[in-house]
Structure 1
Amino acid sequence: MDIGNPLDFTGRAVLITGGTKGIGAATACAFLAAGARVAVCGRGTPDAPPRADGREAVFLPCDVRDADAAAGLVAATVERFGRLDVVVNNAGGSPDADAATVSPRFVEKIVALNLLGPFYVAQAANKVMREQEEGGCVINIGSVSAHDPQPGTAAYTAAKAGLLALTKALALEWAPAVRVNHITTGLTRTEAAASVYGADGGAAVAEVVPMRRMAVPDDVARACLFLAGGLAGYVNGADLAVHGGGEVPARFLAARQGAAD
């Protein structure tokens, strides 16, 4: 079967939530460089939208936690581009919070951002994609927290675990017209996460990753290109791990430290 150039997205329309910085911005640049028309959204207007190869993404303000706003975001993207081929649900995140004392309002906001928002955007996108001859695909950006919770992340972990389960459920319901896949991201060097690197710039953190470095946003962006392209035409309901092998088990780190001492 001839799939052409799997990295050529000329004529394709892509929507990336949370696409103005970090992983989202890198993904927007990757799709722009591959020829796609790209729309990004965020709650705050960026100084400048992502750019690549002399082309610029369209910025659309939106709070995806609002179902009507999410539907309007998809409608505005289709109005601008005439179609919608790829959605990357990237908006998400959470500050650390003590599960014993965190407020109900905080929990609701974190679950809404990391689980409900992607659901609302995907639901609206599916209505468009299923009417297109080529269909479309949805990529949900998840976290290792869905598999291995860390202290201070109870609400976030629950939401991200839900996002992974949602991905598999939608993949069952919407195929073959719309493929839905998930990327499990690990420690990623972004400005928003800089506070967790430590004074050494993240060198100690990188030591717990088998690849001996944290991910950079481009690592996730390239995975999105793969899942959205022709090489992944039969990939549906998958969880693609982009985490450098996860984390080295604590007992091995302890043994290594003991040997060093």
Structure 2
Amino acid sequence: MALTIDLAGRVALVTGGSRGIGRGIAEVLIEAGATVVTCARSEADPPSGATHVTCDVRDPEAVQAMVAHVVEQHGRLDVLVNNAGGAPYALAAEASPRFHDKIVGLNLMATLTCAQAANAVMQQQDGGGAIVNISSVSGVRPSPGTAAYGAAKAGVDSLTGSLAQEWGPRVRVNAVDVGLVRTADTADHYGGDATVAAIERTIPAGRMADVAEIGRVVAFLASDLASYVSGASVACHGGGEQPVFLYLAQRSGQNQQGEAT
């Protein structure tokens, strides 16, 4: 018996779903048969087959209105993907309290706000629902330069387990701890293709993820194939990041061999 991810008849809301990882997730959910709504703070062109709404996910009233709109238009809400987030580079000692507050607000509190609104609908409908929080490896290892972001993502992983226990059995809640992913902005973010290639050589998988690969993990967690998976934080990082000391030791060994020959 072949296993397929079938989300036909299900309605999914993907926050931050008009670009980058969120867009890739939305496209995979559409391919799996879901009716998809994306949201962002501004108007945007969603993936083909999706609709788009504007919403600042940090605003509880706006989030309530967005979820109500989705239910009004489609009759239900089966899947919420909390993808909206991110942070610019800023050293913790130099960033202002207001900056840190905004980062935590977007990456942690908005996730809780959207989850609360979705749960209120899912608890009352046949079949319940599934919430997938997009977290990050920054939440499980030091995150210099994005300290508040890393702390917020650690909070998302903790929140995921707590909500799974509070909201089960009708609503499953899981997280995806995402590693390095190639998007349209990757080269600019890391300083060029040569730097990206050097970074990719340190990843056991030999490359950064494609956005669709994150989307397929999300689609699995949203589907009946994951019917007994809740409270999990799934690592999607290509094998993880090589410890710096090991990388330097290997480089040193290569140099010594080169000098010996």
The separation in 2 between residues aligned to 1:198 and 1:219, in whole angstroms, is 24
Name which of 196, 202, 205 aligns with 2:189: 196
Residue type of the partner of 1:147?
Answer: V
Q: Corresponding residue for 2:216?
A: 222
Q: Tell me, in whole angstroms, the C-alpha distance in 2 between the residues paired with 1:193 and 1:68.
A: 34
Pairing partner for 1:8 from 6, 9, 13: 6
Is this contact kept in 2: 1:9–1:31, CA < 8 A?
yes
CA distance in structure 1 between the aligned counterparts of 2:181 and 2:22, rounded to whole angstroms:
12
Structure 1 stretches of 4+ with a deviation exceeding 6 A read none
Q: 2:80 aligned with 1:83, yes or no?
A: no
2:205 corresponding residue in structure 1? 211
Shift of 1:191: 2.6
| Residue identity (%) | 49
Match of 2:46? 49
- Asked if residue 116 in structure 1 is aligned to residue 95 in structure 2, the reply is no
Partner secondary structure for residue 70 of structure 2: helix
Preserved contact between residue 6 and residue 230 of structure 1 (Cα < 8 Å)? no
- What does residue 229 of structure 2 align with? 235
Residue 58 (structure 1) aligned with residue 51 (structure 2): yes
CA offsets, 1:37-84, max 9 Å, x none? 1000001211x2111xxxx21100000011111111111111111001
Whole-Å Cα distance in 2 between the matches of residues 194 and 218 of structure 1? 18
- 2: CA distance between counterparts of 1:254 and 1:246? 17
Superposed CA RMSD? 1.4
Determine helix, strand or coil for the equivalent of 1:191.
coil
Equivalent pairs, count: 254
Q: How far does residue 194 in structure 1 lie from its aligned partner after superposition?
A: 3.3
Counterpart CA distance in 1 for 2:201 and 2:195 is 12
Superposed displacement of residue 90, structure 1: 0.2
Q: Closer, same or farther in 2 for the Cα pair 1:5/1:68, shift >3 Å?
A: farther
Report SS of the residue matched to 1:202: helix
Q: Which segments of 5 or more consecutive residues in structure 1 lack a partner in the other structure?
A: none
Q: Is the 8 A contact 1:142 1:183 kept in 2?
A: yes
- What runs of 5+ residues in structure 2 fail to find an aligned partner? 256-261
Q: Which residue of 2 aligns with 1:71?
A: 64
Letter in 1 for 2:35: R
What TM-score comes out, normalization by structure 1 length? 0.94
Measured after TM superposition, the shift of residue 161 of structure 1 is 0.8
Per the TM alignment, residue 5 of structure 1 is displaced from its structure 2 partner at its CA by: 5.9
Of the candidates 16, 37, 40, which is equivalent to residue 39 of structure 1?
37
- Which residue identity is paired with 2:32? A
**CA distance in 2 between partners of 1:139 and 1:18 (Å):** 13
Partner of 1:259: 253
Distance 2:156 2:185 in 1: 21
Residue 136 (1) aligns with residue 123 (2)? no
Aligned twin of 2:142 = 149
Kindly provide the CA deviation profile for residues 174-216 of structure 1, in whole angstroms up to 9, marking residues without a partner as x.
Answer: 0000000000000111234433333315111112211111111
Conserved 8 A contact 1:197-1:205: no
Offset of residue 35 of structure 1: 1.3
Alpha-carbon distance in 1 for matches of 2:166, 2:251 = 49
Contact 2:5/2:225, CA 8 A, preserved across alignment: no
Residue 6 (structure 1) shift: 4.3
